[in-house]
Structure 1
């Protein structure tokens, strides 16, 4: 099967460990015996995100500053899975409530995606959330400053067309969510 492509980890050395980032250096052996040394891996927490839709059919977007790019960007709500989350659905429900103040009738899993499987050890778990109703104010983390936008489906498609969202995993989530909701037309 695919086992002939898997590498065996011979050793790992942690180079840096902090709350949001861990970097390690692995020494690996390929199935053909070739040694790969060093191979660097970034360990991040698991992530969740959702295309979140209110009960009046508005898509919720978050606007926030992203320091690595030095830009304010439009994204889908989401974040890191916490140790207190029972599962990924609980994590996205918590993140949606914290970031937007909305609770959702339905949350459907769309699968998972990876930012970069060659260097990142974690996955983003994608969801579509429907029937959102605002039940509280935002409950943001210490360094979060998030503006909420509610846009129509047409406005959302326009933002995508204008390449206003640059977070690749959020665009991927949007694609799977719109496909799940039968909002994409592939015939032309």
Structure 2
């Protein structure tokens, strides 16, 4: 290992860095809240020096997002009210893994149909990420969907609550990238998915 010549830290030249599996011991764990959607527990973890630290762990279901691109390079965004932030946000169609045994790909296809009345023939997983690993176990996967067609009217989902108030927008992909960089699109899964797709186009 070689230290940076002028700043704290080591140079990663020639090393393929990756997240690694390492788990500190848990001295105790106490469940505080449980529901089908999310649970909360308090773990007391033990650091390598033997010190103990209480940590709140939020455990939602995992989630997926869908970057749907039409034949004219427009990306599908849904506009939805999000009560915790009190705003209507522009987002990729997305949803939680709340159907037992359902794969991420199947959940992505279901959410695209439910939220946007769209089906896709071609799917590609383009991104895996952790939502807020400082206190949550939630993991996300983003799929790119192409070769799109509408769900027949008779088979469309009757949306409820916030989803009943959704709007669907088809935005030129480059304009969606600009909107992310300008801070006009701020949902983190959406930001990550759009920028990942942009990077993949330049490789």
Q: How does the TM-score come out when normalised to structure 1? A: 0.86
Query: Is the CA contact (8 Å cut-off) linking 2:46 and 2:52 kept in structure 1?
Result: yes
Matches within 5 A, 1:119-138: 119-136=135-152, 138=156
CA drift at 1:85: 4.9
Give 4+ residue runs of structure 1 displaced > 3 Å after superposition. Answer: none
SS at match of 2:148: strand
CA drift at 1:110: 1.5
User: What is the CA–CA distance in structure 1 between the aligned matches of 2:158 and 2:82, rounded to whole Å?
Assistant: 15
SS at match of 1:154: helix
Instruction: Figure out how many residues of one structure are paired with residues of the other and give that number.
Output: 180
Q: Deviations over 1:87-130 (max 9, x none)?
A: 11111111111111111111111231112111011101111111
CA drift at 1:140: 5.2
Provide structure 1 residue ranges, at least 5 long, that are not aligned to the other structure. Answer: none
Q: Deviations over 1:48-88 (max 9, x none)?
A: 00211124432110001111111111011111012345311
Q: Which residue of 1 aligns with 2:177?
A: 157
Query: Is the CA contact (8 Å cut-off) linking 2:117 and 2:150 kept in structure 1?
Result: yes
1:69 to 2:85 alignment: yes
Q: Which of 25, 37, 56 matches 1:8?
A: 25
Question: Could you say if the C-alpha distance between residues 146 and 154 of structure 1 is closer, same or farther in structure 2, counting changes exceeding 3 Å?
Answer: same
User: What is the CA–CA distance in structure 1 between the aligned matches of 2:159 and 2:36, rounded to whole Å?
Assistant: 14
Query: Is the CA contact (8 Å cut-off) linking 2:177 and 2:194 kept in structure 1?
Result: no
User: What is the CA–CA distance in structure 2 between the aligned matches of 1:102 and 1:85, rounded to whole Å?
Assistant: 23
Q: Which of 78, 81, 106 matches 2:94?
A: 78
User: What is the CA–CA distance in structure 1 between the aligned matches of 2:159 and 2:70, rounded to whole Å?
Assistant: 23
Q: Which residue of 2 aligns with 1:142?
A: 160
State which structure, 1 or 2, has the greater radius of gyration over its C-alpha atoms: 2
1:167 to 2:183 alignment: no
SS at match of 2:109: helix
User: What is the CA–CA distance in structure 1 between the aligned matches of 2:98 and 2:71, rounded to whole Å?
Assistant: 27
* Backbone CA RMSD of aligned residues: 2.0
Q: 58-67 vs 83-92, which deviates more?
A: 83-92
SS at match of 1:166: coil
User: What is the CA–CA distance in structure 1 between the aligned matches of 2:75 and 2:192, rounded to whole Å?
Assistant: 16
Provide structure 2 residue ranges, at least 5 long, that are not aligned to the other structure. Answer: 1-19
Question: Could you say if the C-alpha distance between residues 158 and 165 of structure 1 is closer, same or farther in structure 2, counting changes exceeding 3 Å?
Answer: same
